[in-house]
Structure 1
Amino acid sequence: MSSIPAVTLNTGAQMPQLGLGTWKIDKTTCPEVIVTAAKAGYRHFDCACDYGNEVEVGQGIQRVIDEGIATREELWITSKLWNTYHAAEHVQPALEKTLSDLGLGYVDLYLIHFPIALKFVPFEERYPPEWVYDPKAEHPGMIAESIPIRETWEAMERLVEASLAKNIGVCNFNVALIRDLLNYASVRPSVLQVELHPLLTQEKLLRYCESEEIAVTAFSSFGAESYYALGMAQPTESLIKHDVVTNIANACGKSPGQVLLRWGVQRGTIVIPKSSSEGHLKENAAIFDFELTAEQMSQLSALNIDRRFNDPGDFCEAAFNTFFPIYD
């Protein structure tokens, strides 16, 4: 039985406060990683069409169920609607494709991945479609579509009515977009998933979500670590090696990674660190047997410099020849 605590969503659902992020988990090892994580107590798996490994995640989930490690009802599976599927007629087929890949009848949470609508790419043409519309074009780039978030959200609500998604929410939205969405939503978003770490604390966004009973999932809890290989961060920006983090880790008898995750859960957020090794999976789960002091929490939060690593306004131009900011 998993000992990981849960956050109660506005639907009454219990979402485990620690999950395994599956972004960049290699397809060849992914099923085994899922099983290893489940044996270590993980019940929450954060997936996405764009990660390109939902088939392999599904194979791991099936093994978890077949081997009696956990039942489907004990698992929490999150996936995300990709940018090319924002038109109302594409939302349900996109989730049905994800469900087919995962081998599931429903997801526990389905999120709009970005407030970005791109030109539709048929499944049979390219899947996952990624960011660029035509990679073979002379000057490949992103092609935006004029699709209001309201159209996409109302199609997301129909997924709940069809029992294909138990809960729905959004990723990478700011306060203004959420505030607008709440004006017309008949099914309120249960969860917001955003980048959060001590270099990007997003205090106002967290406070607003708390006031609206929207749970918050933090991605990139370790800050720069996920982005070195992508050329989106420099080793000098490491939180894992930052003096403040390492000093607190030494004082607590924990690793710097555990301190960063603990900071996240003590703020009330859900954390979804990615790891492929059994040792790190177990280490990341061992964050519920200690507490950071108020002073330690303040020291970590004081590191904030509003440093966003996952910013379409930067990486879309560098990687996809398209300037596409969504944050100021």
Structure 2
Amino acid sequence: MKPRSKITLAISAVIIISAASVLTYKIKADNKQRYIVQQAESGVVKYQLALGERYLNDRDMPQSAYWLIKAAKQGSHEAIDQLGIIAYYLKSKATSSTEDKQLFTDVEQTINASRRPQTVFDVYQQRAEEGDMEAVLSLGLMYKRGNGAPEDYALARKYFERYAAAGNTSNPGNGEYYLASMYLAGNGMAVDGAKALALLQKSCDLKFKLSCYELGDLYYQGGESWAKDYKKATALLDVYAEGNSPDSRAMTYIQSLFTMYREGGYGINPNPQRIQAIKTQLCRSDDLYGDDCEGIAQQ
């Protein structure tokens, strides 16, 4: 066996040193993390803040809130500001789990107890004044629902109109969607189906899916100012193209879709084959709705 050359030995030494350096760096990083956690657990505010901000940047809201609440209870105004961001994020989610709702309650209670700002409403109001359009939308919802603010349809409408006119929002079409719901229900204004329909169409054109589904349902139902139109309704509600993952929100209208394909009329012919194709797709074993296959098959 030939002895290894000096170059080979040198390369091996470099590799060993590099590996040792990486291991040393990891050990130091782990030790630093343990130290930060230990200090945070012992009540040192700056380390509680550091962990809270780190988890917030990673979008781990439960862990972030855990440390920020501890810091807030020790009077940290910076922690309260960060909790306001978490509250805004949770309130802006399209759907909220039970855990999200509980986390929001915990965060809101901490903010209220600190009195800076006094309520989540104050967080939104301040951010709305700074031009945060998602806060504008949240204020509209609070006034519309009377949740966190007095029920005031006029103010709700004002905020929804502002959001709809902004054009630089995270959820284009959302403002029009809520305005349409107010026109349909007559919330603080006369019922106006035609205006609601126009708003939903604009929102749907902006790719806001809930508006497309609501618009499809309105064409399925028909109304005083618009006729039933199964052709438009099925085009909007049949989102079960082969290869696409079904949108869970569209499932609300699956029975209406099957009824239209079963009965036909109002611009379409009966299409039982399409019903079966949708059922087959929804009932695939790897599909999101596989567990609900039996119920879907009976519709």
- TM-score, normalising length: structure 1: 0.25
Q: Of the two, which has the highest radius of gyration?
A: 2
Greater per-residue strand proportion: 1
- TM-score, normalising length: structure 2: 0.26
